[in-house]
Amino acid sequence: MAWALLGVRKGSEWHKDSAHIKPLQIVAVGVAAIFVFVLMLIAIVNWVV
């Protein structure tokens, strides 16, 4: 499913996967990605300092 969001799959495969993706799943992946990004930034800052 994540590959379909990134657009890495074939066109027909992407259409098949996108038909099953719910908006809540997209929001959940977005929130998780932001959370991981912030944690990575905090870790990098702590490592540099």
Going from N- to C-terminal start, the domains of the chain cover 23-49
Provide the pLDDT for residue 3: 60
Please tell me the distance from the alpha carbon of residue 5 to that of residue 10, in angstroms, as a whole number: 12
Token readout for 24 is 């809540």
Please tell me the distance from the alpha carbon of residue 37 to that of residue 4, in angstroms, as a whole number: 21
The structure tokens 């066109």 sit at: 11
Provide the pLDDT for residue 34: 96
Per-residue pLDDT of the chain (49 residues; tens, 9 = 90+): 566 566 666 667 667 767 778 889 889 989 999 999 999 999 999 999 9
| pTM for the full predicted model | 0.62
* Run of H or E including 45: helix 23-48
Provide the pLDDT for residue 25: 87
Contact status, residue 3 vs residue 9, Cβ threshold 8 Å: yes
